[in-house]
């Protein structure tokens, strides 16, 4: 059963007459639909959508309050690509991160979260019939955005043993119609942190086959176990074919402020900006002030978020280890998700997640939402508090002890 049919069954009717083919063929991702279903079920605990439990740090909130009191322009549109001081602060930070000069005036556009940055980037380079290579499993919204651009998602399985890139499989998937490759690293939904050597090889493939790379860097700050994080943006040879999208959402606990940015060459950015202008005009000005305060303020909050999430990852793994007859998983090295493979022959991931929701009152995301290789898994987010994680696993354990799959 799909999320859509579950919603139809629950009384939400879909009318399709007059609706464009472009829109008919996409759906709201299961990541966003499962919480809607959960609100209908009531009293659910969530391991579903990736909303970290932390409040926005106080110094960011205070800075925005000061701006609201003192700056009459804060309620007005900013320049389309964003406030110049924010673009420059972003460029300075990014340049330090990737070890190359970044020009805030020509290579950065502030967007309505990474989500708008991704959609604008995909619409800029993908046209009808273009093949776009996506790892499978992969972030569900990348799939819908490619379909919205009338591109064709080509799923390339990650290695199931460690969810690392399978370069041979990528090579085989490339055809004369291949246009772009979309990769998020650290990876949602598997928690993989892709190796620098594999990413360098991927870059060589992109150059050899004239592909764009859209690099989703939403979790660039979030790797565990003292591992290095390698970003494709560090490779100058990709300059003309690289679009990278970033987010303030998770790094500074700002999911609701809706602010992110896109980094690309001036030439590419000029085109991306046309979509940004048509879709959003500019990112919310107050949120841009919040982002500026985040960049200019103390960075201890980022370390605190990282170490709290590492502890939650370890807790999630410990709780899963107590249910080894039902679940197996690859330990996440980054982001705050894991794909739990379940043992319930003949039960698809949608049915598994819906039964967990209705019978155990725990929200998870069916793995199939992330591409064909997500089937037989559920995605668990450990962004919630330790209490929530304990409560969710207590409920799952009680549910399993009732022998739900006799």
Ligand X SMILES: Cc1ncc(COP(=O)(O)O)c(C=O)c1O
Question: Can you give the binding site for ligand X, defined by CB under 6 A?
Answer: 50, 113-115, 139, 184, 188, 216, 218, 247, 249, 255, 260
Report, in Å, the least distance between residue 374 CB and ligand X. Answer: 14
Nearest residue (CB) to ligand X, 137 versus 260: 260
Nearest residue (CB) to ligand X, 337 versus 352: 337
Report, in Å, the least distance between residue 111 CB and ligand X. Answer: 8
Nearest residue (CB) to ligand X, 115 versus 174: 115
Nearest residue (CB) to ligand X, 153 versus 260: 260
Nearest residue (CB) to ligand X, 64 versus 174: 64
User: Considering only CA atoms, which of 53, 328, 374, 355 is closest in space to residue 189?
Assistant: 374
Token pair 């022959």 is found at 345
Report, in Å, the least distance between residue 323 CB and ligand X. Answer: 26
User: Considering only CA atoms, which of 310, 305, 161 is closest in space to residue 227?
Assistant: 310
Report, in Å, the least distance between residue 247 CB and ligand X. Answer: 3
Report, in Å, the least distance between residue 237 CB and ligand X. Answer: 25
254 vs 258: CA distance, rounded Å: 7
Report, in Å, the least distance between residue 134 CB and ligand X. Answer: 12
Nearest residue (CB) to ligand X, 246 versus 393: 246
Report, in Å, the least distance between residue 349 CB and ligand X. Answer: 18
**Under 8 Å between Cβ of 34 and 357:** yes
Q: Which residue is nearest to ligand X (CB)?
A: 113
Nearest residue (CB) to ligand X, 174 versus 218: 218
């Amino acid at each position: 059963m799909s999320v859509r049919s579950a919603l139809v069954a629950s009384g939400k009717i879909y009318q399709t007459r007059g609706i464009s083919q472009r829109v008919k063929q996409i759906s709201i991702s299961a990541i966003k639909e499962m919480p809607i279903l959960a609100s209908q079920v009531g009293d659910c605990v969530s391991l579903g959508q990736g909303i970290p439990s932390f409040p926005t740090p106080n110094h960011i909130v205070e800075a925005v309050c000061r701006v609201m009191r003192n700056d009459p322009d804060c309620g007005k549109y900013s320049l389309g690509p964003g406030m110049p001081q924010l673009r420059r602060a972003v460029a300075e930070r990014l340049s330090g991160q990737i070890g190359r000069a970044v020009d805030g005036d020509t290579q950065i556009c502030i967007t309505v979260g990474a989500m708008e940055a991704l959609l604008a980037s995909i619409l800029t380079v993908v046209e009808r019939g273009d093949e776009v290579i996506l790892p499978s499993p992969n972030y569900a919204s990348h799939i819908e955005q490619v379909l919205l651009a009338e591109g064709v998602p080509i799923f390339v399985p990650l290695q199931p043993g460690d969810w690392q890139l399978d370069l041979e499989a990528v090579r085989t998937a490339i055809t004369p119609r291949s246009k772009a490759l979309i990769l998020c690293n650290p990876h949602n939904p598997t928690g993989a942190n892709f190796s620098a050597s594999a990413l360098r090889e991927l870059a060589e493939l992109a150059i050899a086959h004239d592909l764009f790379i859209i690099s989703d860097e939403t979790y660039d700050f979030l790797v565990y176990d003292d591992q290095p994080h390698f970003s494709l943006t560090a490779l100058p040879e990709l300059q003309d074919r690289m679009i990278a999208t970033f987010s303030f959402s998770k790094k500074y606990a700002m999911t609701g402020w809706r602010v992110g940015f896109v980094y690309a060459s001036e030439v590419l950015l000029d085109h991306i900006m046309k979509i940004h202008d048509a879709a959003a005009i500019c990112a919310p000005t107050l949120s841009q002030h919040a982002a500026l305060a985040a960049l200019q303020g103390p960075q201890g909050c980022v370390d605190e978020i990282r170490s709290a999430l590492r502890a939650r990852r370890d807790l999630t793994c410990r709780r899963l280890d107590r249910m080894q007859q039902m679940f197996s998983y690859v330990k996440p090295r980054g982001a705050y998700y894991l794909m739990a493979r379940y043992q319930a022959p003949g039960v698809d991931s949608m049915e598994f997640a819906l039964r967990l929701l209705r019978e155990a009152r725990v929200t998870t995301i069916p793995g199939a939402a992330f591409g064909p290789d997500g089937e037989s898994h559920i995605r668990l987010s450990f962004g919630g508090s330790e209490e929530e994680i304990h409560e969710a696993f207590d409920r799952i354990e009680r549910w399993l002890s009732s022998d739900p799959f006799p």
